[in-house]
Chains A and B, each alone.
Chain A
Amino acid sequence: MSSTGTDVRGTGGDATDAFREPPAINRAEAVESLPMERVNPPRSFFRGSFTDLVDILRYRELLGQLVRKELKVKYKDSVLGFFWTLVRPMAQLVIYYLAFTIFLGNQQPAYAVFIFSGLVVWGLFTDILGGCTGSIVGNGGLLKKTYFPREIFPLSVVGAALVNFFLQMIVLIGAIGITAVLTDNRVAVTSDLALVPLALAVCLVWGLAMGLFLAAATVYFRDLQHLIEIVTLLLFWLVPIVYPVVLPIKNFTENGHSLLLEIYLANPMLNVIAAFQRAFYTMGPEYTLDANLWARLGVFLVIGLGALWLAQRYFARAQGDFAQEL
């Protein structure tokens, strides 16, 4: 332990500590000076979010602890431990690479980098979604015995997912480096790299908004946990990760389904993935989405913030009954 720790043992940690005569009067005065606070006060629909946010910020220490807990607990007692977080996307990468390049004869250059740049951010989104969905139900033990803002649980999932995301980013950058050496050096740093923080923000805001909603709703409808697994599987094929976005665009336009195309492109995660591909997959810009991603992501961020606010309001309403429903 630190030096302060030993200090405490030396001065007050002995058995007499418990029987030390207390400064009773000081305590009474101190109590009087503390504010009388209402427990779980009702919050107005509009200003409540702000109060909740202040509450959450007060518990940021706990948030850090819980993020660490999420990371530790997930791979506790496994031999490879943290390495597993990288195994899943790697396996996906190998499978899709085999299927599309070897079996289907895909000619896209540096196809592995293409898949991985989409997969990295999609993995972040599904980690958040899946993790949040079970975060309240799975932490019933803590929830039933202690009080703190319940949003901390979904937030800690986001924190843990972010850590995994950054690890995978390191792998992605390494892969790009290897590609640069092996291939004909079409790797470039473009201005599109600046899209990444914005795209990340859109991903986090939408992930958290849906996560908060699902976390609270799962308490009342446990089936959601299983449903969401299927839905993410389906969503995976609605975003251009393993196929280039230009293919569906071409098909929709040729067949005259312009409305379907608009709906297809109105998916925030599609735009997030497109931004990542534009930033990291410079080997084949003709395969990525050619649109004003700055504007599109900006709009999705604003809408996403609105959705996040609504989700938080729903969460705040539902949370009073969490302890009794679990």
Chain B
Amino acid sequence: MTTVIRVSDVSKKFAINANKSLKERLINARTTKQNKSEFWALRDIDLEIAAGTSMGLIGHNGSGKSTLLKVIGGILSPTDGYVERRGRLAALLELGAGFHGDLTGRENVYLNASILGLSRADTDKYFDSIVDFSGIEEFLDTQVKFYSSGMYVRLAFSVAVHVDPEILLIDEVLAVGDEAFQRKCLDKIRSFMREGRTIIFVTHALDLVRDLCSRAVLLDHGVMQYDGAPTQAIRMIRDAWNEEAEVEAEQAAARADDTVTGAATYTPMRISDVVITDGAGQPKDTFSPGEPFGVECTVTSDRRVTDWAVGIKIENHMDQNCYASNTHLMNLQLEPIEGSRRVSFSYGSIPLIDGGYHVSLAAHGVNGPHYARAARIKNFKIVDSEWQDGLVRMPAQVQVRPVEAGAARAATAETR
């Protein structure tokens, strides 16, 4: 395949200079060098992107995704290394994509198109399809500073895809449009891909990357962590997120404990020693779909609580509730509690799809202020060789067999 973009050993250093004004610089002339703090937004990035690739750039906030996109777009020059590319490039970076607020939508279309290298005659030719696609005819002669962010993106995206670009860069902008327009954009992007154009996305919508991209690059602190199949890249970034979330939950729990000991008049219940198990008491954190699964915890109450219940919830990385229940809903009457009790939930099989999950637990007395909550206290992972979408992993059996002639006739007769 033909290479359309070559990123060679690109590094980008940012200097954060605290002294901006002339006065400050003069006063601090001698210390200016020391006040300069530098960091590498990109470190030795090497990429060859073939024509027709749709590539997702993913990573944490501040991992250098947008910087890399800007370097490819020529808006930032790299400190080291260089970028080569072929053909016209259209970029949708952040909101607006180079609109001027005081000009009307119509004027901005022409301005934007000429930035992308189109002549006025060419723009005239595309103008109607740009407006049609954006669906904002009635606001065309309004200054764009009065536009909503959705209208902004509609117009910007329309211009970018109608100027016949070879390369399209998109930085997290589609999320602003309404669902109907997003679908329209995605359709357009898919047709671009079919036409063999090259698209690079920066997005936090990982499912979109999985859907659209043939390749994904994972960046972390400016360093390329992974370059390859989108599913693997997504798995890696979610693992990293889960680790972070776990640390945070532990810290939050520790803080909560501190505050509780401070409040002497208040005696809540406490949840501690949470363990995810294989359903038979052995700790485990990675499962295949359908394996036995369990959660254990210790609930402590300093006072006697007669009517109490324990709840469990499993959420996925999107905070979608995958499963939630409690001992009340299970019609279990628990023995009165005073002191500590070990509670264990076990399940014969865990029917969830590939991904990372968080477990939250809660315990409360039905009457009174006794309450304990451990939100996202533990994480576990499901690794599946087969990718399914949705929430639940449903093993399927598919059969294909010939349609019997008689039955087919009966079916057609019925529809008549």
Interface residues of A (CB under 8 A from B): 1-2, 4-6, 8-9, 12-13, 17-22, 24, 27-28, 31-32, 34-41, 58-59, 61-62, 64-66, 69, 72-73, 76, 141-148, 221-224, 227, 320-321, 323-324
Q: Which of B297-337 contact A (CB under 8 A)?
A: none
- Contact A27-B86, Cβ < 8 Å, known A1-B124, A22-B191, A65-B111: no
A156, B412: Cα distance in complex, Å: 71
B220 at the interface (CB under 8 A from A): no
A-chain residues with CB within 8 Å of residue B71 when the two chains form the complex: 39
A73, B188: Cα distance in complex, Å: 33
Among the 9-residue stretches B194-202, B223-231, B264-272, the one with 4 or more Cβ atoms under 8 Å from chain A is B194-202
Question: Is the pair B114, A65 in contact by a Cβ cutoff of 8 Å?
Answer: yes
A323, B71: Cα distance in complex, Å: 11
A-chain residues with CB within 8 Å of residue B117 when the two chains form the complex: 58-59
B-chain residues with CB within 8 Å of residue A36 when the two chains form the complex: 3, 6, 84-86
Question: Is the pair B115, A146 in contact by a Cβ cutoff of 8 Å?
Answer: yes
Q: Which of B77-109 contact A (CB under 8 A)?
A: 77, 82-87, 91, 93-94, 96-103, 107
**Could you show 25 A-B contacts with beta carbons less than 8 Å apart?**
A5-B124, A5-B127, A18-B133, A19-B187, A19-B191, A21-B194, A22-B191, A24-B196, A27-B197, A31-B196, A32-B51, A34-B166, A36-B6, A39-B72, A59-B117, A69-B100, A69-B111, A72-B107, A73-B100, A142-B115, A144-B75, A145-B91, A145-B98, A147-B73, A147-B75
A297, B82: Cα distance in complex, Å: 44
From the candidates A19, A22, A62, A69, name the one contacting B107 in the complex (CB within 8 A): A69
B60 at the interface (CB under 8 A from A): no
Interface residues of B (CB under 8 A from A): 1-4, 6, 14, 20-23, 25, 51-52, 70-77, 82-87, 91, 93-94, 96-103, 107, 110-112, 114-120, 124-129, 132-133, 143, 166, 184, 187-188, 191, 194-197
Question: Is the pair B93, A27 in contact by a Cβ cutoff of 8 Å?
Answer: no
- Contact A224-B83, Cβ < 8 Å, known A8-B129, A146-B97, A320-B77: no
From the candidates A22, A61, A221, A222, name the one contacting B120 in the complex (CB within 8 A): A61
B-chain residues with CB within 8 Å of residue A9 when the two chains form the complex: 128-129, 132
Question: Is the pair A22, B127 in contact by a Cβ cutoff of 8 Å?
Answer: no
Chain A residue, CB-CB nearest to B90? A146
A-chain residues with CB within 8 Å of residue B51 when the two chains form the complex: 27-28, 31-32
Most buried by A among B2, B6, B21, B112: B2
From the candidates A21, A22, A35, name the one contacting B196 in the complex (CB within 8 A): A22
Question: Is the pair A13, B128 in contact by a Cβ cutoff of 8 Å?
Answer: yes
Question: Is the pair A39, B74 in contact by a Cβ cutoff of 8 Å?
Answer: yes
Q: In whole Å, how far is A216's beta carbon from the nearest beta carbon of chain B?
A: 14
A315, B256: Cα distance in complex, Å: 56
Question: Is the pair A222, B194 in contact by a Cβ cutoff of 8 Å?
Answer: no
A58, B87: Cα distance in complex, Å: 15
Question: Is the pair A221, B114 in contact by a Cβ cutoff of 8 Å?
Answer: no
Name 14 extra pairs, CB < 8 A, besides A34-B86, A39-B84, A142-B100: A5-B127, A5-B128, A12-B129, A27-B195, A36-B84, A40-B82, A41-B82, A61-B119, A62-B114, A69-B100, A144-B94, A145-B97, A221-B21, A323-B70
Q: In whole Å, how far is A96's beta carbon from the nearest beta carbon of chain B?
A: 32
Q: In whole Å, how far is A95's beta carbon from the nearest beta carbon of chain B?
A: 31
A-chain residues with CB within 8 Å of residue B99 when the two chains form the complex: 141
A-chain residues with CB within 8 Å of residue B83 when the two chains form the complex: 38-40
- Contact A40-B21, Cβ < 8 Å, known A8-B128, A76-B102, A148-B115: no
Question: Is the pair A40, B74 in contact by a Cβ cutoff of 8 Å?
Answer: yes
Chain A residue, CB-CB nearest to B7? A39
- Contact A24-B97, Cβ < 8 Å, known A8-B128, A323-B70: no
Question: Is the pair B127, A1 in contact by a Cβ cutoff of 8 Å?
Answer: yes
From the candidates A8, A64, A73, name the one contacting B102 in the complex (CB within 8 A): A73
Question: Is the pair B103, A34 in contact by a Cβ cutoff of 8 Å?
Answer: no
- Contact A31-B110, Cβ < 8 Å, known A18-B188, A61-B120, A145-B96: no
A38, B115: Cα distance in complex, Å: 18
A22, B197: Cα distance in complex, Å: 11
From the candidates A31, A145, A324, name the one contacting B93 in the complex (CB within 8 A): A145
B-chain residues with CB within 8 Å of residue A18 when the two chains form the complex: 133, 184, 187-188, 191
Question: Is the pair B195, A22 in contact by a Cβ cutoff of 8 Å?
Answer: yes
Question: Is the pair B128, A38 in contact by a Cβ cutoff of 8 Å?
Answer: no
From the candidates A5, A41, A323, name the one contacting B75 in the complex (CB within 8 A): A323
- Contact A324-B86, Cβ < 8 Å, known A18-B188, A224-B22: no
Q: In whole Å, how far is A313's beta carbon from the nearest beta carbon of chain B?
A: 16
Chain A residue, CB-CB nearest to B25? A221
Question: Is the pair A4, B124 in contact by a Cβ cutoff of 8 Å?
Answer: yes
A-chain residues with CB within 8 Å of residue B101 when the two chains form the complex: 141
Most buried by B among A12, A21, A31, A36: A31
Question: Is the pair B194, A24 in contact by a Cβ cutoff of 8 Å?
Answer: yes
A225, B28: Cα distance in complex, Å: 21
A142, B100: Cα distance in complex, Å: 7
A-chain residues with CB within 8 Å of residue B103 when the two chains form the complex: 69, 72-73
A324, B17: Cα distance in complex, Å: 11
Q: In whole Å, how far is A67's beta carbon from the nearest beta carbon of chain B?
A: 11
Q: In whole Å, how far is B194's beta carbon from the nearest beta carbon of chain A?
A: 6
A144, B70: Cα distance in complex, Å: 9
Q: In whole Å, how far is A264's beta carbon from the nearest beta carbon of chain B?
A: 28
A222, B1: Cα distance in complex, Å: 48
B-chain residues with CB within 8 Å of residue A144 when the two chains form the complex: 75, 93-94
- Contact A31-B125, Cβ < 8 Å, known A141-B96, A142-B100: no
A141, B100: Cα distance in complex, Å: 8
Q: In whole Å, how far is A237's beta carbon from the nearest beta carbon of chain B?
A: 24
Q: In whole Å, how far is A204's beta carbon from the nearest beta carbon of chain B?
A: 23
A12, B130: Cα distance in complex, Å: 11
